[in-house]
């Protein structure tokens, strides 16, 4: 016979089905509960609960002094967060949409990223910047961009992106615990997709990539919103006997090239997929790194699938712009044809 309460404890250990929105909300709640120096700041994050309701209920439970509605001024938001971090706080800033981050770009790349280095480490800036990014929701102009390369190119910033609710839950907490500034990119087209989240399991280290599907002929490296696309393509290829391995990069700066390298040595072929334009995107860096390190293991050139080198199109045309199942499968076919 089970001891009294054993069933309840088993139930508590069971993974909970959560959407990405709910998982990030739970991660923010856990960070706020654990450390009183953690603050959530942003436009409409309090009473409204955020445009996507990621911060829903937090102001009610933690108060207006810890979940702060800020003016419509992204530069002021990040500048204030820098000042708070210098005074010992750990601010979490929400940018409403990817295209709204540019007014704060100077604060991020000129101050936030560089101040710890300029002070030889005497000053730490544990600031988290959450940015919903990417397309696929039929939004208007400036609401569907993928600015990750700007931030990954900036020394002094850590840049990560979640693809699953479980990563969303843990990543935001790991970012808060970092003494370095962290940009957390959240794929808005995946906000309402759900999956089990085990809050008792040990999280994957923040800057480690993860093999999410095994295969022996082609490696697809992806991140954020394209992980689901790549998994769908791998499943379709698998139905035809083509083994495709899928690696979720997770961290864009620093890059876990070692995990990618191990996969490519197994398969001999690499396709990199991201929503951002292919031109000077993360795929270019990965292609160069893998070519340098795995030259004699590659059976074909590294191929890239991504957005086109033009401003993000109107909503009615975004399906033609974004990497989809057919474009990824076409790259798999081409890399196998060499």
- Strand 16-19 relative to strand 182-187: parallel, antiparallel, unpaired? unpaired
Compute the distance between CA of residue 18 and CA of residue 143 in angstroms, rounded to an integer.
25
Compute the distance between CA of residue 323 and CA of residue 274 in angstroms, rounded to an integer.
7
Give me the helix-helix angle, 226-238 and 325-337, nearest 10°: 60
- Name the nearest CA neighbour of 218 among 204, 238, 202: 238
CB 283, CB 255: distance < 8 Å: no
Catalytic residue, candidates 142, 143, 153, 274? 143
Compute the distance between CA of residue 244 and CA of residue 222 in angstroms, rounded to an integer.
13
CB 30, CB 168: distance < 8 Å: no
DSSP letter string, 27-43: HHHHHHHH-TTEEEEET
DSSP type of residue 54:
T
> Among this protein's residues, is 143 annotated catalytic?
yes
Report CA torsion sign: 236, 237, 238, 243: negative
Q: CA 60 from chain center: how many Å?
A: 27
- Write out the catalytic residue numbers: 143
């Amino acid at each position: 016979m089970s001891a009294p309460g054993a069933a309840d404890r088993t139930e508590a250990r069971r993974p909970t089905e959560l959407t990405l929105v709910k998982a990030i909300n739970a991660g923010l709640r856990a960070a706020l509960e654990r450390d009183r120096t953690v603050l959530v700041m942003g436009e409409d994050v309090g009473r409204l609960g955020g445009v996507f309701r990621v911060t829903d209920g937090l102001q009610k439970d933690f108060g207006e002094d810890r979940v702060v509605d800020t003016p419509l001024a992204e530069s002021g938001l990040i500048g204030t967060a820098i000042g708070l971090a210098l005074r010992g706080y750990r601010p979490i800033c929400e940018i409403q949409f990817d295209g709204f981050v540019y007014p704060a770009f100077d604060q991020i790349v000129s101050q936030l990223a560089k101040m710890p280095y300029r002070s030889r480490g005497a000053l730490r800036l544990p600031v988290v910047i959450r940015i919903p990014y990417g397309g696929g929701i039929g939004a208007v102009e400036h609401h569907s961009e993928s600015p990750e390369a700007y931030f990954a190119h900036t020394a002094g910033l850590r840049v990560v992106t979640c693809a699953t609710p479980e990563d969303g839950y843990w990543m935001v907490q790991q970012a808060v615990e970092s003494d370095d500034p962290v940009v957390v990119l959240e794929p808005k087209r995946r906000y309402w997709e759900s999956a089990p989240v085990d809050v008792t399991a040990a999280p994957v280290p923040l800057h480690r990539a993860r093999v999410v599907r095994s295969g022996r002929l082609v490696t697809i490296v992806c991140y954020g919103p394209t992980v689901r696309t790549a998994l769908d393509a791998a499943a379709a290829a698998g139905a035809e006997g083509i083994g495709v391995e899928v690696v979720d990069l997770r961290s864009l700066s620093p890059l876990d090239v070692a995990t990618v390298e191990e996969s490519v040595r197994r398969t001999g072929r690499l396709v990199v997929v991201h929503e951002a334009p292919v031109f000077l995107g993360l795929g270019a860096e990965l292609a160069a790194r893998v070519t340098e390190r795995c030259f004699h293991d590659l059976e074909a050139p590294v191929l890239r699938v991504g957005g086109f080198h033009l401003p993000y199109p109107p909503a009615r045309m975004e399906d033609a712009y974004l990497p989809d199942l057919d474009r990824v499968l076409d790259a798999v076919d081409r890399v196998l044809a060499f």
